[in-house]
Structure 1
């Protein structure tokens, strides 16, 4: 996926956001802290997290050699085999706290100004949108969706990113972008060729992946016909195979040129 989207709204100049405006960043954070301050009621813990909070120190004392991950797994296992009658105690406590939480939340919202109430709703929409996006990305990762092809600039960045030390990632990307702009067409050509090879790789892998998704009944994940590339002729397919084979040669040439410099 592209590491840097040019010098427009998604490029380095836009990465500063409100930081470039005197007091802008701090003012925005202060505003959101005002909406999501400690005065806002906290959601009650679930039955499991109540069990975790109550028993964590005891499990830690009994198993000092365990890492945090191992300890969490052990506690989760203990919760899983806990008798239903004992789980019910934690669930009843949650229900009682939930009723109190709803009353406190209603009181809190009644004190907000119309602007603060709208900001609170917007914050909730953004949080849910981020959650849905994360869930969708995680599902695609589990299903093995191929990674999108890299651009010539992406490949250039990945090759030279570690060379500049002691500067921030944003400054490093801007420096690499300036370096890419100064390259001649002949110097860019090996990277552009590798990018074309990666496009072929992506389309081939996507074709196989989409076929698998259809077999699994997940047509909702298939690209629309407009997004799909046109069928290649036999000659074009041969050229694609040649391009993939030559990608190794291009990588070798890049390494050789770099060593000679």
Structure 2
């Protein structure tokens, strides 16, 4: 026997000899157990019994046929067999299966040393997906009804059944999968404490077993509101497509585009207003849904919503700020500095410092990827092991580089703190991922609605703000209460988002954010100049808060509208209170 073919070659000679000796002592280790001369032979399935019995006969009758064609014919013949004839093959299979199980039990008793090698790992079994749980349950039922069915037949039949499963039945298995995953997380964390050498991240333990469609189905069942269309055109297309089921999908969008172009501006504005109203209702419903969720699920939903808001921001910048971009280009051509770019650079936090191990890994990652044929997981595992076994004197160079990187980070953070927190116009510094501030009161909410729906775009800026104040005075107290409630709901959502965002920051980033906000308040006070001496009242305090809020509004809203809203907010509120 050629033992050198059964052992690894990339070890030292002494290790190779030791491997060869172990293989001589136990040549049937692991997967080779079934090759043992005394290991009982598995019985043939009913179909294979029929196949082996009839193959020679059909091969003589059809010598021109290939093995594949013969297999297809015999498979078809077996399926067409009456149940009485099939039962003969099934009974033979079941009888031999019982003999096999008895012989296997005897083999285990006679060779306990071999069976120890096949012992499964004590690592907790990974949680199964809803489909896997359902499949394992239904497979047993299916095989009881059709014991002679092949694995392929079972998969095909059950796969079709799963695709036709109702949402209610599917939810049952989704809940079971979630329960199993929670149990796995607890067991796995206990196992990790006992086996710290296991290289499994927290993300690997908590990875979801649900698909995107299954997650959406569960959220819908739990009461998550349906997301409205992102803009008026999408809403119009959705309404139109509901009556275009007979039209080919490739032609639907073309027809929608043509029909949209035929609408006049008033009809388009009506869709825009309807879309904005749907978005506001969605925000309120989403906030109520979030209150019913645990903190972990809240963070997941907020992360999904954050991605959507980012896309909306990009779209709004592309459409509503074309004029502002043209003006910026003209300023740049005339040699004026780009103030917006400078503000973005100040708002972006410096790159976090790297550890000595991370710097070393960056320098050698190319060599390890080449060694492991671009398998990043294996390369990272090998690098971690190498770093752990590396002597301290070899690590000194990388530790020094990490210390330099830490100093660089602290220096950049200090520079950022000392830089002016606001621009000359008093605009707020933007931090990456910071949630958009919500309106503080009913009047601000009312102003935002009128400015965003385009209804007053025909008026000059100053007249626009006067008109908003006038309309606010004319609406009924119940309508004012409605806007006030909307503002309060949005404030609750904003506070929740801000709290989660602050938790995601490091202590240094949090300090920089607080520093920037305090600097912003100081600079805006200087820009406004000294306030006239007057007796402080609650109404004045409210107006000052409104003005400060308006200055903190994002650039994504109507820039001119947002800045003017703060000035007329106080006047309108005063007149309303009178």
The interval holding the TM-score normalised by the smaller chain is 0.3 to 0.5
TM-score normalized with structure 2 length = 0.21
TM-score normalized with structure 1 length = 0.41
Higher relative contact order (CA 8 A, sep 6+): 1
